[in-house]
């Protein structure tokens, strides 16, 4: 179902963006930045064309299927960080869900340039994944080697080895 949903969104999105009708109607309405796509591409589609309606419907299906998964991951991580357990009261659980939902809602309502937010989030995430996390994991392994040499030896002995066939 996920593949089908993404394939439909991609196909109809391409048809909607590449169509002669879209290009002429959207670019004629623009007074500045001719040829530049809007940061919220859903605002670029008309509301009375079939491909655009199908794209909006499929994006709605994607979001309604993926948001609960992302919300669950965020909630688990925050509960472990804040309360050191995932067993919390119903009141705390509901307040955490509300906080997780309100932050992106406020960004969507009050800051319409979602592309710049995504650019900053991607650059910070890339920085953390490329430069910070490898250094932290290396330092953690060295700390284990210093404080618990037997545990470090056991970890290294039981490490999974990649199989590389001979050429």
Report pTM.
0.57
Q: In this predicted structure, which of 23-32, 37-46, 90-99 has the lowest mean pLDDT?
A: 23-32
Q: Which DSSP symbol is given to 34?
A: T
Give the C-alpha separation, 152 to 142, whole Å.
9
Side-chain half-sphere of 89: how many Cα atoms within 13 Å?
A: 3
What is the distance between the alpha carbons of residues 86 and 77, in angstroms, rounded to a whole number?
9
3-state class (DSSP) for residue 29: helix
Residue range 32-69, pLDDT digits in tens: 655 566 666 676 777 787 777 877 888 888 888 888 88
């Amino acid at each position: 179902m996920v593949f089908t949903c993404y394939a439909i969104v991609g196909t109809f999105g391409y048809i909607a963006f590449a169509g002669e009708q879209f290009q002429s109607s959207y670019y004629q309405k623009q007074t500045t930045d001719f040829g530049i796509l809007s940061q919220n591409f859903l605002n670029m589609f008309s509301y009375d064309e079939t491909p655009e309606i199908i794209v909006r419907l499929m994006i709605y299906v994607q979001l309604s299927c993926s948001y609960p998964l992302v919300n669950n991951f965020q909630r688990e991580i925050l509960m472990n960080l804040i309360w050191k357990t995932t067993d919390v009261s119903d009141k705390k659980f509901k307040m955490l869900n509300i906080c997780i939902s309100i932050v992106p809602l406020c960004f969507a309502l009050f800051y319409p340039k979602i592309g710049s937010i995504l650019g900053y989030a991607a650059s910070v995430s890339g920085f953390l994944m490329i430069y910070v996390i490898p250094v932290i994991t290396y330092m953690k392994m060295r700390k284990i080697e210093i404080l618990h040499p037997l545990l470090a030896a056991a970890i290294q002995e039981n490490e999974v080895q990649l199989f590389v066939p001979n050429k």
